[in-house]
Structure 1
Amino acid sequence: MGKIRIYELARELNMTNTELVDRLHEIEYPVKSHMSSIDESDLPDVKAKLSGKKKAAKLEEKRIKPTVIRRRRVKTVKKPKIIEDLSQPEMVVEEAPTIAAEETTDKEPKIEEATKPVLKEEIPQETAAEVPEDTVIPDEAVAESVEKEAPETKKPESGKPAKKKKKDTPAKIIKPAPPPKETDPAEIKKTPAKPKRPVRKAVAAKPAPPAQEPSLKGKKKKGHKKTEPVEPDRKFFKKKISFRKKEVIEGKDLYSGRSKRLRRGKKGPKSKMDKGLKPQITTPKAIKRRIKIDDTIILAELAKRMGIKANEMIAKLMSLGVMATVNQTIDFDTAVLVSTEFGYELEKASFEEDNLLKAVEDDPKNLTERPPVVTIMGHVDHGKTSLLDVIRKTRITELEAGGITQHIGAYNVTTPKGQVVFLDTPGHEAFSAMRSRGAKITDIVVLVVAADDGVMPQTIEAINHSKAAGVPIIVAVNKIDKDNADPERVLRELSENGLVTEEWGGDTIFVKVSAKENTGIDDLLEMIILQTEMLELKANANKLARGHVVEAKLDAGRGPVATVLIQEGTLRAGDSVVCGIHYGKLRALLNDLGQQVSSAGPSLPIEVIGLSGVPSAGDELVSVTDEKDARQISQHRVRKQRSVDLAKTSRLSLDGLFEKMKTGEVKDLNLILKGDVHGSIEALKDSLSSLSNDEVNINIVHGATGTITESDISLAAVSNAIIVGFNVRSSPKVQEMANEEQVDIRYHNVIYDVIKEIRDAMLGLMSSTFEDRTQGWAEIRDVFHIPKIGTIAGSYVTEGNFQRGKLVRLLRDGVVIYEGKLSSLRRFKDDVKEVQNGYECGIGIENFNDIKIGDNLECYYTEEIKPELD
C-alpha cells in the first residue's frame, strides 16, 4: 500500500501545510509535520473529515462575508456599476455608517480599537457626512486629505452592489453608534497610513458625478471649510480600514493561523504578495519516488536523490538507532529503512553484467581440437624446471634466483607429435595458491618426484590440488641417474597416497626420466599426447575470447602486463577486454618467446599489454564487443568492491572490547611489499602473515607490483613500516627520500631470505623471559649485630657458592621472608668475592636486619631467555 505526504495532500486540497497539519490534529490524526505520510487506505476517511471542517469554516466566513466581498470586489469592480451607485450620494452616506454599524455589532471590540482616535480628532464632522459624497471635492488644497479619503469612499460604494442591505440601512442609520468610540488616539497614525494603497482607485471614483463639478468649482474654498464633514467620512472609512485590517487578520486566522505576523500594520498586504510568490513544494510522482541503488550508497547521495536534507536523514537514522555521518556508506537494508520513513521506495539496481558477459553455448560443429595445457607440479628442488628446460631446450633454471621457481611460467612447446602448453609452478610451500590455480586451469598434471628424495609435503599437496580439480596425473620419476635413486620407494609412497602405477594394476601413468641426462623425455611427451587424445580436447575459436590470468606484473616501460591462458575464442590485438576490476583495449600481444603476434587461439599462453591496472592472478579475462561496455563493467566492479570495503563497520561489543584490551600489548610489525609479479606478492603475504603470534602481529600495510616509489616511502613513514623489495629496486631519488624519512628498505630475490629476516625482526620485537637460577645455599648458625653496619649472619655454605652482588632470599621455616641483594661477604675479617661449599662466612643483606639463627639463605641470579619462533 502506498503513502502520500502531507504537503502533497495540502496541494491537492488547496490548503497550506500548516493549516492541514492543524486540521489533522483537530480530527486526531497523528502527524508530526508536513513531511509525514498518510496511508492511502486512510485517505478517503481523512478527506471526508477535512471536508466537514471546510464547511464549518465557510459558515464562519459568512459572518464576515460583507467585508471580505467588499475587499475582493475592490479589485474587480467595473466602473459603470460604480457610476450608477455614485448617482445616489445620499444612499452612500447612509450605507457607509450602516455597514459600519452592522460590522460594529459583529465586532464591536475590534472596531473600537481602530476607530476611537478618529472621533477624538473631529467628532462634530459626523453630521456632514453627506457632503463629501455630494460634492466629491477634488480641491487641490484638500488633496492630501481627500486623496486619502477618496479611496475609502470608493470601497463603501463598492459595497453598494449588495443592495439587499439598503433596505435595512434606514433603520440602522444610527449616528450615535460611533460616539462611544472616543478613546485611544494611538491609532490615528495607523489609519491614515493604510489608505495610501487604494489612492490610485480613488482617482477613478472622482469623475463619477461630472455634472455637479461646475457648480462646485466656485465653492472650492467653502468646500475646504467643509472638510470638517469630510473627516467623519474619513472616520467611517478608517473604521472600514480597520475592518479591512481585521478582515485580513480574520482571513489569515482561518486559513493559515498567521495573525500575529499580519497584525503588524504594513506587512498585511506584503505577506499576501509574498504568499503568492512563495515557491511551491514539488512532490514527485509515485513512480519518481522509487529509487534504484546498488548494494551500498553514500548517505549524502541518497539524501540528494530523495530531495531531503542530509541532516534530516541523519536525525532520522539516529532516531532509528543508527549513527551515521554525511559521507558514510550505508548498506541497502539501512537505506530502505530510512527511505521508508520519508515515503520513498528503494530497489536494488541490478547491473546487467551477466548479460554482457554471458557465455554462449558452442555448436558442436564449430569445435576444433586444441593443444593440451600441462602443469608441472612437485616438491621444491625435485627438478621440475630442469625437466621443462630439456623439453624447451632452454636454461630457465639459471635465470631463477636461488635456483628455485618463484613465478608461474607458461610456455608453448612444439613437439614432433603436436603442440603442448606447459605451466611451470613453484614447489616452495609459500606458493600454494599458485599451485592451486595451476591445477584449475590445466588439462593434465605432470607430478615430478625425485627418485632420491621420495614423496615430500608439497608432493602430497600437489596430489590433493589435482584431485580436487579432477585433472589426470602423470608421474615423472626424476633423477633416476643418481646413485642413491630408489624408484621403487617412490612407487610405494605414491601408492599410499592414492596413485597406483599401471604395473601394479592401477590407472596412473609412471615415467622414469632424467632431466640431467636427457633420458625418458620422449616417453613422457608420448604419454602426454596419448592422454590428450583420450580427453578429446576441443574448443571454439570463432567467438569472443575468454581466459584466465596466470601471472601479472607492472613493467616500467610497458605498464601492466598480464600472462593470460586463452581457454576459448580468439584474442586479437585491439580487442576491448575486462579483467577483474580492470579493463582496456589491448595494444599488443606477445607469445612466450617475446614475439609480437596479432592473435592467440585456445590453450595458448599470451602476454597482453593495455590493461588499466595490474589484475590479480586467477582473474578471468573476457573480451567484449564495445569498449564502452568494458569500461562500464569495470567501473561497476570497482564501485562495488569499494562500497563493500567502506561498508565494513566495526561495532565494538563488550567481548570485542575485552579482546582489544587483552591484545593491547601486541606489537605490530608493519610491512610494505613490492614485487615484480603479483604471484610473488601473494606468496609473500601468505608466508609472512602466518608468522604472526601472540606477541607480534605481521601487518601487511600495502602490497603491489612495480618498483618502489616515493608514495611507498611516504606511506612507510606514516605507518612506521619496513619496505620489502622482492626482485625490484628503487631509484636513487627514492633512496635519498627514504634516508631522509628514515625508512628501512630491504631488498631480496629469494623468498627464504625474506622470511628469515622478518623472523629475526619479530624476535627483536618479542620480549625476553627471565628465569631464576639457584647458585648456592647457606645455613645461618649465628647472628652478629655491628654498629653502623647492621646485622651480619654467620653462615655455613651447604651447597654451591655465594658471590658478592648476587641476589639472595631469606627463608624461615620454608617461607620466603625477604628477597634482596647480598651487600657484604666476609671470611673472618677479609672481604671476599666468593665463598665455596663447606666454608663459613659472614653475610650481610642489603636493607634487612631481621635475621635469626636457623634461617636459610638462597643465593641466585636471573637469566634472560631470548624468545624463539616455532
Structure 2
Amino acid sequence: MNVTELARQLNLSVEITRHLIPRVGFDIGLKAIKVEDRIAYQIIERVKKSPHLITEVEIELGLKQSDAKEDKDEKTPLTQTLQIPDQIAVRELATLLHKPVTEVVAELMKNGIFANLNEEIDFETAAIIAEDMGFQAIRMEKRSGEEATSDQRIEDIMKTDKTKEPHPPVVVIMGHVDHGKTKLLDAIRKSHIVEGEAGGITQHIGAYQIEKNGRKITFIDTPGHEAFTAMRSRGANVADVAILVIAWDEGIKPQTTEAINIIKKTELPFIVALTKMDKDGSSPEKVFQQLAEISYLPEKWGGETIVAPVSAITGEGLDDLLNMLLLRADLEQNKITADPNRPGVGTVIESHVDKGEGPVASVIVQTGTLHRGDLITAGEVAGKVKLLKNDLGIEIDKALPGTPVRILGLKELPDVGDILQVTGDKKALKKVLKVQKIRTQALQERQTKIIQQAGEEGKQNDHTYTIILKTDNAGSQEAITESLEKLPRTRVKIQVARTGIGIVNESDVAEASSIGAVIYAFHTKIPTATKEAAETEGVTVREFDIIYKLIEDIISELESRMPPEVTRNIEAVITVSGLFRSKGKTQIVGGVVQEGKATSSLHVKIKRGNISIGEGHIMELRMGPRVVDSVTSGSECGVKIERAPEIRIGDTLELFSEQVRTRKLIE
C-alpha cells in the first residue's frame, strides 16, 4: 500500500502519517513511499486504539497548539491544492509546482527515485514530492476523451514577454517516407543536402534558414520513416507553420496520416505541397479527393486548404509555394512574435558529440536572444555558451527568435526536446551541475548493472541477442531504441546492453567481447584501430546509414534464433497386420494402406488405439519382393522403419510429411 493511500484511510496528511507510524511501533523511515499491506492494516488498527498520538504528532509538527500555548497564534498547514493525473512526466510536475525541474529531480533522488525530466511517475510518487514542497495533492479526475497535456512551459514563458516583435516563421516539413521532403528543401535552399542523406531518407532533424522577398524563413526537416514519430511531434511543437508533403502518385500514406493527426492535435496552420509533379501523368485530383474525404477541402474545390503543386527536380512551383507559405504565416502574424530583449529561451531539436567540439546541441530560439558567453541550462545539463554557429556553420555572436543555431559549451548532451534557458543565477547553475553529477553517477551505476547482468547470462544464446548501440546523435538513438521497444515480445529477446553517442572505440569492443554482444554503429565512424581490435577479439561490428536497414538486420537476427514453425501433413494411414523382423533400431512390418499414398522417406507416427506411442522414419517400402517408391490406398505392403518404439499387430501407422517455415517476427 502506498503511504498516500494509508494517509487517506486514516484521514490524515502524508506528513502526519509518516511521523505517526514510528509512534505506533513501526520504523519504515520518513521517506518511505510504500508499506506492506499487512503492516499497513496493523498501523490503522493501532492508530484507532491510540487517537491521542495524532494530537501529539500535530503539536510536535506545529500544526496544532498544546494547552499551554492556547494564547498564541495557531500555525496552520499549507492548504494550496494541486490536481495531479494518474501518470505525469517529471517536467510537467515541475511546471505545476512552479519549481525548476532540477529541484524536482533532486527531491525524487532524495526519495531513492532516479528519473529524468521526460520519465513519467505515478500519482502516489508525485503526491509525496508535492507535499514535500508544500502542496496538497489531489488525484485529477479522468474526463472522457481527455489526453494528458504536453509540456506548456515554453508557452508559459512566452506569456511573460514584455514586447511582441515579429520573427521569422519556423516551418516544419512533414510527410510520408520518401515523398520528397528533403529534395524539396534542397531545391528551396539551392544546395545538396539530400546527397549527404543515406538512401535519400533524412536521418535526423535539420534546421535551416533561407530568405524570400527579403524575409527569413526557418525550416525544420523531419524524417518520414515510421521510427521517427517522436521527432515529428517535437518538430510540430516548435513550429509556427507546417508544410505537409504528399507525392501525387502515392497520395496519403501512413506517415502522412500521422502527420495530419499531429497537425490537428497541435492546431498548427499548414499548407500542402504536392510533390513529384514532373512525373508523367501527374494529376492532383487523386490527392484533392483524399484531402476532401478527411475534411480538408482544397481551395480549387472551393475549400480553404492551400495546395501547391511543385517539382523539386525542375523547380516548377517553388516560388508559388514560398509565397503561399508567407501568406499563411501572415495570417498568424499576431502569434509569430517574441521578445528579443529578454534572455534566450529555445528548444533542443538535436544533440550529438563531435570529436573535436564535444557535446553539441542544435536549438531553435523561440524567444529572447542567445549570446556567446551566456550561462545556460537545458533540462538536467548546464554550461556556458562557448560558441554559436548558424545553419551554414558560420560563427555568430547572437541568435534572435526564430533562428536555428548550434551551441557548444554544455557539459553533457541534453535530451532532444529539452528547454534551453539563459540563466544569470550562478547558484541555480551550480545546483543544476550538482544534480547533473548525481544523475550521471546514477546512470553509470544502472548501466554497470545491465552490463553485469548481460555478462552473467553468458555469451550470445538462442534466446537472447545482446547489442551495443552507437549512434551519431541523440535523435537517431531515440528513434532506434523506440523502434526496438515496439518489436513483438517472443521467446527470443533483444538486450541493449548499452547505448552511446559518438565513434565506436576500443573500449566498446572490449565490453562487447566480455558480454558476447554485437556492436551496431549508426552513421558514426569506426577508426582503424577499433576495427583491428574487433577482428582480434572476434567482435562483430555492423555499420548502417539507414535506420530501417539496421532494424531489419536486428529483426533478421532475432528470427534466426526463433524455433521454426513445423507443419505436419498426414499423407497415408497403414494398419499393421504382420511383424517380420526386428534388428537393433530397425523393424520390418506388413500392413494395408487404408487411405492416402504411402511413399518412402516419410516420417511415421505409431498409434496404439488413440494413444501415440512414438515416432520413426520410413527407410523402405516393398510390394512382394520388389522395393517400391510408393504404395496406393487398398494395397498391401512391407514397411522398413528405423528409430521407432516396438510395433505390435493392430497398431496404426500415420505417415506424414513436414513443412518447415522460418518464423517471422512481424507477419
Same fold (TM over 0.5): yes
> CA deviation digits over 1:719-749, x for unaligned, max 9?
4332210111222332333334433211000
Correspondence for 1:599 among 398, 406, 428: 398
Distance in 2 between residues matched to 1:457 and 1:710, nearest whole Å: 41
Distance in 1 between residues matched to 2:158 and 2:570, nearest whole Å: 80
Aligned to 1:620: 419
Distance in 2 between residues matched to 1:391 and 1:822, nearest whole Å: 71
Correspondence for 2:277 among 468, 480, 493: 480
> CA deviation digits over 1:693-716, x for unaligned, max 9?
222223333223211123333443
Aligned to 2:110: 297
Q: Does 1:699 align with 2:498?
A: no
Q: Does 1:525 align with 2:525?
A: no
Shift of 1:806: 4.2
Q: Does 1:450 align with 2:247?
A: yes
Shift of 1:791: 8.3
Distance in 1 between residues matched to 2:443 and 2:185, nearest whole Å: 43
Distance in 1 between residues matched to 2:262 and 2:230, nearest whole Å: 10
Distance in 1 between residues matched to 2:349 and 2:168, nearest whole Å: 17
In 2 relative to 1, CA 617–786 (structure 1 residues): closer, same or farther, beyond 3 Å? closer
> CA deviation digits over 1:663-684, x for unaligned, max 9?
xx99332322211121111111
**SS of the counterpart of 2:331?**
helix
Distance in 2 between residues matched to 1:470 and 1:492, nearest whole Å: 22
In 2 relative to 1, CA 587–806 (structure 1 residues): closer, same or farther, beyond 3 Å? same
In 2 relative to 1, CA 348–640 (structure 1 residues): closer, same or farther, beyond 3 Å? farther
Gaps of 5+ in 2: 1-15, 23-49, 51-56, 69-105, 113-124, 136-151, 447-460
Distance in 2 between residues matched to 1:570 and 1:703, nearest whole Å: 34
Report sequence identity in percent: 36
Report if aligned partners of 2:579, 2:649 keep a CA contact under 8 Å in 1. no
Q: Does 1:401 align with 2:198?
A: yes
Distance in 2 between residues matched to 1:385 and 1:819, nearest whole Å: 61
Distance in 2 between residues matched to 1:522 and 1:593, nearest whole Å: 22
Aligned to 2:175: 378
Q: Does 1:515 align with 2:312?
A: yes
Distance in 2 between residues matched to 1:332 and 1:815, nearest whole Å: 60
Report if aligned partners of 2:169, 2:329 keep a CA contact under 8 Å in 1. yes
Aligned to 2:624: 828
Correspondence for 1:572 among 357, 371, 375: 371
Aligned to 2:481: 685
Aligned to 1:490: 287
Aligned to 1:848: 646
In 2 relative to 1, CA 612–807 (structure 1 residues): closer, same or farther, beyond 3 Å? same
Q: Does 1:389 align with 2:186?
A: yes
**Equivalent position amino acid for 2:253 in 1:** M
Shift of 1:571: 0.7
Aligned to 1:866: 662
Shift of 1:864: 2.7
In 2 relative to 1, CA 594–849 (structure 1 residues): closer, same or farther, beyond 3 Å? closer
Report if aligned partners of 2:568, 2:656 keep a CA contact under 8 Å in 1. yes
In the superposition, the TM-score normalised over structure 2's length comes to 0.71
Distance in 1 between residues matched to 2:268 and 2:156, nearest whole Å: 26
Distance in 2 between residues matched to 1:799 and 1:427, nearest whole Å: 57
Report if aligned partners of 1:372, 1:420 keep a CA contact under 8 Å in 2. yes
Shift of 1:475: 0.9
**Equivalent position amino acid for 2:413 in 1:** V
In 2 relative to 1, CA 44–770 (structure 1 residues): closer, same or farther, beyond 3 Å? same
Aligned to 1:368: 165
Aligned to 1:652: none
Aligned to 2:46: none
Correspondence for 1:632 among 431, 436, 454: 431
Aligned to 2:219: 422
Report if aligned partners of 1:435, 1:462 keep a CA contact under 8 Å in 2. yes
> Which runs of structure 2 are paired with 1:571-590 in the superposition (5 Å)?
571-590=370-389
Aligned to 1:765: 561
Shift of 1:843: 2.8
> CA deviation digits over 1:398-448, x for unaligned, max 9?
111011111211111011241111111111111111111110000010111
Distance in 1 between residues matched to 2:195 and 2:424, nearest whole Å: 42
How many residue pairs get matched? Answer: 529
Report if aligned partners of 1:668, 1:698 keep a CA contact under 8 Å in 2. yes
Shift of 1:810: 4.3
**SS of the counterpart of 2:470?**
strand
In 2 relative to 1, CA 822–462 (structure 1 residues): closer, same or farther, beyond 3 Å? closer
Gaps of 5+ in 1: 6-29, 31-36, 46-292, 300-330, 336-345, 648-664
Larger radius of gyration: 1
Aligned to 2:653: 857
> CA deviation digits over 1:449-474, x for unaligned, max 9?
11111111111111111111111011
**SS of the counterpart of 1:535?**
coil
**Equivalent position amino acid for 2:311 in 1:** S
Shift of 1:375: 1.0
Aligned to 1:434: 231
| Structure with greater contact order relative to length (CA < 8 Å, sep ≥ 6) | 2
Report if aligned partners of 1:783, 1:794 keep a CA contact under 8 Å in 2. yes
Report if aligned partners of 2:467, 2:495 keep a CA contact under 8 Å in 1. yes
Aligned to 1:668: 464
Report if aligned partners of 1:783, 1:791 keep a CA contact under 8 Å in 2. no
Aligned to 2:450: none
Report if aligned partners of 1:582, 1:615 keep a CA contact under 8 Å in 2. yes
Distance in 1 between residues matched to 2:173 and 2:606, nearest whole Å: 70
Distance in 2 between residues matched to 1:556 and 1:349, nearest whole Å: 45
Distance in 2 between residues matched to 1:410 and 1:459, nearest whole Å: 21
Aligned to 1:837: 632
Shift of 1:626: 4.3
Shift of 1:479: 1.9
Correspondence for 2:531 among 735, 739, 744: 735
> CA deviation digits over 1:506-530, x for unaligned, max 9?
2221212222221111111111222
Distance in 2 between residues matched to 1:547 and 1:725, nearest whole Å: 30
Report if aligned partners of 1:589, 1:609 keep a CA contact under 8 Å in 2. yes
Q: In angstroms, what is the RMSD of aligned CA positions? A: 4.0
Aligned to 1:71: none
Question: Which of the two has greater helix per residue?
Answer: 1
**SS of the counterpart of 2:664?**
coil
In 2 relative to 1, CA 463–721 (structure 1 residues): closer, same or farther, beyond 3 Å? same
**Equivalent position amino acid for 1:783 in 2:** G
In 2 relative to 1, CA 583–818 (structure 1 residues): closer, same or farther, beyond 3 Å? closer
Shift of 1:379: 1.2
In 2 relative to 1, CA 825–547 (structure 1 residues): closer, same or farther, beyond 3 Å? same
Report if aligned partners of 2:574, 2:652 keep a CA contact under 8 Å in 1. yes
> Which runs of structure 2 are paired with 1:182-261 in the superposition (5 Å)?
none
Shift of 1:601: 0.5
Distance in 1 between residues matched to 2:261 and 2:392, nearest whole Å: 32
**SS of the counterpart of 1:625?**
coil
Distance in 2 between residues matched to 1:585 and 1:618, nearest whole Å: 19
